[in-house]
Amino acid sequence: MIERPADDDPSLTAATPEANPAATAPAANPAATAPISRRQVLKLGAAALPCLLGSTALFDWMTALAAEPSAPVDPIVASYDPTAHSWAFVVDTRSCIGCGQCVVACKQENGVPLDEEHTRTWVERHAIARDGSVSVESPAAGMYGFPPAPVLAGATEHATQATQFVPRLCMQCENSPCTAVCPVGATFRTQDGVILVDEQRCIGCGYCVVACPYGARYIVPAGARTPTGVAGVADKCTFCYHRITRGREPACVEICPVGARKFGDLTDPASEVSTILREQPTRVLRPELGTKPRVHYVGLLGEEIR
């Protein structure tokens, strides 16, 4: 390496003005050349902008066409006031019998795909061994119930102490990771505490799917059954928002034969969920994450349910 003279600055910025007077020419003589170029630049920009916007709009329209649009029912009725409600959900694991009717009802009500991975709600069976370890299974998302004897890994080594059915759904967190990470604001929380997805705005990046600590989200696959008629967007339990805004219960709550799923309004102190939350010990899943779920569990066994 040789030594450079002190005035020989390697930086292009510093070396230029002396060595290259032409580079400063536009500043020195702007009147001679600048108007033409500015006009050309403006012309180019004026021509390019509509083309760009037009092509993007066209492409979006075409992709929307390809996604088999349907006419989903407007979930918010005119008479519904979201500020007057604060919805909550209580699951009583002591009552749940694992029949799976809630899963069937949900898929039927919302047009959810029938496979086990793309589901808004599912039922798990937790087998708790004497050493505290928990084995979890959910065959076909619990849609068809469970086999009578749990065939669990390690069940023979560690005698099963207890089993329970744990219905799962979106927790509608008050401090929700999914709404925080969505890059385009497509998933949002309504004033009554339900988290929804705008299927016209979702880009299908899957960030909310990996960010949800409860695995409650999925990307809608193309096919006959698409909850909102749009494939390739995120979907999740909405507490059957189209029903609750019309004064009805979610489909899973309505169908549950043993009343293990309870739904109600926290602004009404006399509602069943308010009473349970006030009078009984309840738990939420993964409280250490600070997500503040709106789905509470009664009678949950085990130290840690993930």
Partner 1 sequence: MIVRVAGRAIVADPRLAWRAARVEAMNTPRGLKAWLAVLSVLVFIGAIGAVRSIFPGDKGTATTPTFEWGLLIAGYVFFAVTTSGLCLASSLGTVFGIERFRPLEKRHAILAVLCLVTAFGVIALDLHYPVRMVLGAAFNPSPTSPMWWMGVFYGIYLCFLLVEVWSMFWGHPRIHGMACVLASAMAIIAPTTLGAVFAVVSARPYWAGAFTPLLMLATAFVSGTALLGVVFGMVDRLHLTGFERAGALAIPAIRSLLTLAIVIVACLVARDVAVGLASTDPGLSAATRALVVGPLAVPFVGVRVVIGLVLPMALLVMPFTRTALGLFGAGCLTIVGVFADRLTFVSAGQIAPLTATSGVVSAPYAAYTPSLVEISILVGAAALIALVYTLAERYLDLRESDVHVGFALPVSLGAWWRGRSVPAGSAPAAEPLDSEPVVVEPAASRADPEPPPVAAEDPAQTFESSPAGPVTTEMSYVDEPDQDELPSEAPPEEPLSSGSLPGGEP
Name which of residues 174 to 203 contact partner 1 (CB under 8 A).
Answer: 177, 179-186, 201-203
Select 79 or 156, whichever has its Cβ closest to partner 1. Answer: 156
Q: What minimum distance in Å lies between the beta carbon of 205 and partner 1?
A: 5
Residues 119-148 that bind partner 1 (CB under 8 A): 119, 122, 124, 135-141
Three-state secondary-structure class, residue 139: helix
CA dihedral 45, 46, 50, 52 (to 10 degrees): -10
Length of the chain (residues): 306
- The single residue listed with the structure tokens 């560690």 is 158
Residue among 77 and 203 whose Cβ is closer to partner 1: 203
Select 12 or 77, whichever has its Cβ closest to partner 1.
12
Interacting residue with partner 1 among 114, 129, 211, 301 (CB under 8 A) = 211
- Considering only residues 67-86, where is the footprint of partner 1 by CB under 8 A? 67
Q: Is 219 exposed, middle or buried (0-12, 13-18, 19+ CB in 10 A)?
A: middle
Residue closer to partner 1 by CB (options 125, 294) is 125
Residue 277: CB minimum distance to partner 1, A: 25
**In terms of CB distance, is 4 or 278 closer to partner 1?**
4
206 counts as binding partner 1 under rule CB under 8 A: yes
Q: Where in 169-294 does DSSP place strands (E)? A: 187-189, 195-197, 218-219, 234-235, 261-265, 282-283
Kindly state whether residue 209 participates in binding partner 1, applying the rule CB under 8 A: yes
* CA–CA gap between residue 208 and residue 288 (Å, rounded): 19
161 is a site residue for partner 1 (CB under 8 A): no
Among positions 25-44, residues that touch partner 1 (CB under 8 A) are: 25-26, 28-29, 32-34, 37
Chain CA centroid to CA 252, Å:
19
- Asked if residue 20 binds partner 1 (CB under 8 A), the reply is yes
What residues numbered 89-118 form the site for partner 1, per CB under 8 A? 116-118
In a 10 Å sphere around its CB, with 0-12 CB exposed, 13-18 middle and 19+ buried, how is residue 226 labelled?
buried
Measuring CA to CA, how many Å separate 288 from each of 216, 278, 282, 291, 292?
18, 22, 15, 8, 10
Token look-up 């004497």 returns 130
Question: Rounded to the nearest whole angstrom, what is the least distance from the CB of residue 84 to partner 1 in the complex?
Answer: 27
Position among 90, 173, 197, 233 found at the interface with partner 1 (CB under 8 A)? 233
CA angle 87, 92, 98 (to 5 degrees): 115
Ramachandran class of 167: left when φ > 0, alpha when ψ lies in -120 to 50, beta otherwise: beta
* Region binding partner 1 by CB under 8 A among candidate stretches 214-222, 241-249, 273-281, 295-303: 214-222
> Least CB distance from residue 297 to partner 1, whole Å?
15
Q: What tokens were used for 39?
A: 């006009």
Residues of span 243-272 touching partner 1 by CB under 8 A = none
